[in-house]
């Protein structure tokens, strides 16, 4: 057990308490301090922590000590179960179109790992659904973004439809037509993501959404950005109604508090976890695993 894990912290806190049959409010307060610190260290948004603690406290007070568990272990269990509950059921993955082309629009800030995630998602869909996947390069503000998608497309053997730096709306219209003519049945669209969210970019994304009428709008969020991740997700979600998030860079040393914050602040379900630069390190998001990771 790591020294700073929540379990070991709670063991320490509980040493000061006498063995009783139920958890009293005072015991709980003592333990909640540790839970609070632990979540903040895992980079969970502070407002989310506050709400979370209030929920946990309500559940824990008056709780009978379960046989075989000491009070510290019991609180860890309550925290773990609540983390899992808040982050949602096991992810369902992509909602595919029942016929015709499944269209997936990806959104996210530059640097969030969007292009890499598109490559991985394409590979994942090809492998799990045997679909014929195509990418559309509609991030028209940076020539490098198009080049990068083309490079990833080559790497994974997926065709990239691109028209250079023309209007994103036209590219998406033409790209979808091309996909239909060429018998593709899954299209993933890369869109612009500036360093900061701005109105022009947002209105372009809203137009692209109207044109593509996507089955999914997936937001890539860098797990390493911790607290900020939730606010970024919220801004995108307010304008575009994302259907899911892809949490990227989980191979970093982050404890993953972003996952909890995103779900709580924006309400976007986290669908996928991406962890590394290899194209096969991409999987459905598992709240259970993330809960354990956040607890350290
Ligand atoms: P975009 O600007 O949002 O399209 O982001 P990119 O896909 O270009 O990624 C930005 C940087 O993060 C690049 O250097 C990627 O190699 C790196 N990156 C992307 N995904 C991951 C990941 O899951 N783990 C790690 N360690 N690096 C990643």
**pLDDT tens for each residue of 236-283:** 999 999 999 999 999 988 888 888 888 888 889 999 999 988 999 999
* Ligand 1 midpoint to CA 56 (Å): 35
* Ligand 1 midpoint to CA 249 (Å): 7
Question: Are the C-beta atoms of 266 and 107 separated by less than 8 Å?
Answer: no
Say what the alpha-carbon torsion angle 233, 235, 238, 242 is, to the nearest 10 degrees.
-30
* Nearest atom within ligand 1 for CA of residue 109: 3
Residue 3 pLDDT exceeds 80 = no
pLDDT at 18: 52
pLDDT at 15: 65
* Ligand 1 midpoint to CA 88 (Å): 26
**pLDDT above 90 coverage of the chain, percent:** 51
The predicted-structure confidence for 17-74, as pLDDT tens digits, reads as follows 555 566 677 878 888 898 898 888 888 888 889 999 998 888 877 776 666 667 777 7
* Ligand 1 midpoint to CA 144 (Å): 14
**Could you give phi then psi for residue 103, rounded to 5 degrees?**
-110, 130
- Tell me the C-alpha distance between 121 and 260, whole Å: 22
Higher pLDDT, 246 or 226: 246
Ligand 1 — pocket residues by CB below 6 A?
A: 108, 110-116, 148, 193, 248-249, 251-252, 274-277
The predicted-structure confidence for 93-104, as pLDDT tens digits, reads as follows 999 999 999 999
**29 known member of a binding site:** no
The preferred substitution site among 113, 143, 144 for testing ligand 1, maximizing ligand atoms within 8 Å of CB, is 113
- Tell me the C-alpha distance between 284 and 296, whole Å: 21
Q: What is the ipTM of this complex?
A: 0.98
**Could you give phi then psi for residue 19, rounded to 5 degrees?**
-70, 115
């Amino acid at each position: 057990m790591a020294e700073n894990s929540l379990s070991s912290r709670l063991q320490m806190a509980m040493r000061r308490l006498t063995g009783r049959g139920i958890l009293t409010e005072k015991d709980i307060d003592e333990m909640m301090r540790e839970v609070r610190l632990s979540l903040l260290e895992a980079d969970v948004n502070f407002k989310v922590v506050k709400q979370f603690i209030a929920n946990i406290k309500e559940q824990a007070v008056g709780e009978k000590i379960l046989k075989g568990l000491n009070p510290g272990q019991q609180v860890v269990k309550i925290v773990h179960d609540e983390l899992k509950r808040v982050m949602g059921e096991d992810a369902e993955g992509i909602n595919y179109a029942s016929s015709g082309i499944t269209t997936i629009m990806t959104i996210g800030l530059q640097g969030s790992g969007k292009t890499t995630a598109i490559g991985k998602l394409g590979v994942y869909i090809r492998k799990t659904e045997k679909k014929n996947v195509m990418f559309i390069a509609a991030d028209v503000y940076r020539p490098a973004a198009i080049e990068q998608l083309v490079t990833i497309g080559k790497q994974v053997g997926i065709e990239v439809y691109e028209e250079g730096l023309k209007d994103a709306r036209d590219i998406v219209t033409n790209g979808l037509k091309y996909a239909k003519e060429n018998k593709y049945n899954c299209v993933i669209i890369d869109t612009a993501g500036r360093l900061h969210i701005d109105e022009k970019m947002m209105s372009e994304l809203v137009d692209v959404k109207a044109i593509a009428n996507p089955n999914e709008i997936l937001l890539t969020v860098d797990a390493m950005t911790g607290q900020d991740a939730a606010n970024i997700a919220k801004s995108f979600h307010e304008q575009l109604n994302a259907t899911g998030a892809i949490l990227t860079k989980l191979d970093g040393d982050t404890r993953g508090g972003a996952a909890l914050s995103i779900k709580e602040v924006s309400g976007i379900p986290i669908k996928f976890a991406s962890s590394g630069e290899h194209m096969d390190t991409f999987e459905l998001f598992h709240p259970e695993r993330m809960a354990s990771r956040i607890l350290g």
